[in-house]
């Protein structure tokens, strides 16, 4: 009974306004991951900014989001209150898992946040620049072991794109997939692999502490506060962003889509959202409307090409 009282005391602290559900956001991942955090941050901000009275988050984990998107597309058809969080990882997962439901079966609304990929080596490494790494890669692709996240994910795609841009056969890259950011980072710090590739946030504190050397970043232009050349500047034509987006259900009307897009724009421009981006270290890469649709189509096409070239998709 004591538990009960404490819990109800806390229920007051969490404060759930008792109105009808305005939005229900599906995070196609387990609680705690990036998509889940995005969904839950959206939930807080939408409520705090009074854009929506009540927002619920639902987790449907599995297979890089493909299970979530399949369920979302079939169950929420025409529902103007349903939102889905997703991201670039989903693009790759849909291809490698041969998912029958794709991003075409939902209504993408906007890109919210993003992170760029960086290439690092341990500070004790004799590789001093991205040029050194490319030279080593060209001489013997197998001798460069890349540590990063799961096979077919953004990091793997990044390594493949770099090899391709350097004129090296992407199937020849020696990519070592680790199950989590932490494990990959440990292997890089311990000099178990030659180089590491992952989003900047994963390596940030190590770079600042001087235990990792930052070679290059995958953004289109240099970023304030990050002291590294872009891959483009280094002669490798690669721009890659690991973004997160929000989509609406399929089969909604134009007006309904517009209403959702307006709400999401309010969210992305709100002070609370910006505050949250800052504390979480997420970059604001908000993009909506036709510009986003175009970027999405481009990303899907280039991802499919590179995954085929790496040999992960037939």
Tell me the closest approach of the beta carbon of residue 151 to another protein, in angstroms: 4
Q: Is 150 in the site for another protein (CB under 8 A)?
A: yes
* CB nearer another protein, residue 65 or residue 288: 65
Of 97, 125, 256, 295, the residue at the interface with another protein (CB under 8 A) is 97
Scan residues 28-67 and list those touching another protein (CB under 8 A).
30-33, 36-37, 40, 44, 57-63, 66-67
Q: Is 271 in the site for another protein (CB under 8 A)?
A: no
* CB nearer another protein, residue 105 or residue 292: 105
Instruction: Using the rule CB under 8 A, give the single segment among 106-114, 190-198, 227-235, 288-296 that binds another protein.
Output: 190-198
Give the closest residue to 49 by CA, choosing from 258, 275, 243. Answer: 275
* CB nearer another protein, residue 14 or residue 290: 14
Q: Is 154 in the site for another protein (CB under 8 A)?
A: no
Q: Is 11 in the site for another protein (CB under 8 A)?
A: yes
Q: Is 81 in the site for another protein (CB under 8 A)?
A: no
Q: Is 181 in the site for another protein (CB under 8 A)?
A: yes
Tell me the closest approach of the beta carbon of residue 180 to another protein, in angstroms: 7
Q: Is 1 in the site for another protein (CB under 8 A)?
A: no
Q: How far is residue 309's CA from residue 165's CA, in Å, rounded to a whole number? A: 12
Instruction: Using the rule CB under 8 A, give the single segment among 128-136, 258-266, 276-284, 292-300 that binds another protein.
Output: 276-284
Task: List interacting residues with another protein (CB under 8 A).
Answer: 2-4, 6-11, 13-14, 16, 18, 30-33, 36-37, 40, 44, 57-63, 66-67, 70, 96-97, 99, 142-143, 145, 150-152, 156, 171, 174-183, 185-187, 189-190, 192-193, 204-206, 208-209, 211, 279-281, 311-312
């Amino acid at each position: 009974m004591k538990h009960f009282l404490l819990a109800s005391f806390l229920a007051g602290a969490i404060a759930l306004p008792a109105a009808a559900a305005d939005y229900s956001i599906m995070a196609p991942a387990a609680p705690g991951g990036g998509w889940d955090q995005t969904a839950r941050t959206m939930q807080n901000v939408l409520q705090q900014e009074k854009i929506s009275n009540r927002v619920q988050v639902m987790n449907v984990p599995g297979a890089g989001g493909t299970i979530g998107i399949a369920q979302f597309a079939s169950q929420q058809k025409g529902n103007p209150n349903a939102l889905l969080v997703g991201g670039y990882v989903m693009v790759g997962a849909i291809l490698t898992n041969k998912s029958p439901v794709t991003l075409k079966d939902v209504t993408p609304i906007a890109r919210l946040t993003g992170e760029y990929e960086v290439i690092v080596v341990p500070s004790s490494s004799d590789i001093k620049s991205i040029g050194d790494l490319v030279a080593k890669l060209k001489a013997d692709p197998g001798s460069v072991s890349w540590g990063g996240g799961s096979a077919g994910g953004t990091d793997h795609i990044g390594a493949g794109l770099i090899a391709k841009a350097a004129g090296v056969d992407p199937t020849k890259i020696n990519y070592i997939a680790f199950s989590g950011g932490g494990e990959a980072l440990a292997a890089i710090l311990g000099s178990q692999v030659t180089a590491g590739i992952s989003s900047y946030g994963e390596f940030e504190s190590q770079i600042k502490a001087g235990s990792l050397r930052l070679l290059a970043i995958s953004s289109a232009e240099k970023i304030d506060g990050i002291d590294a050349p872009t891959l483009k500047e280094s002669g490798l034509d690669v721009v890659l962003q690991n973004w997160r987006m929000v989509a609406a259900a399929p089969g909604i009307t134009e007006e309904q889509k517009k209403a959702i897009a307006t709400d999401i724009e309010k969210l992305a421009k709100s002070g609370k959202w910006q505050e949250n981006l800052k504390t979480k270290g997420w970059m604001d890469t908000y993009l909506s409307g036709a510009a986003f649709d175009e970027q999405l189509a481009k990303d899907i096409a280039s991802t499919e090409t590179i995954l085929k070239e790496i040999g992960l998709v037939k």
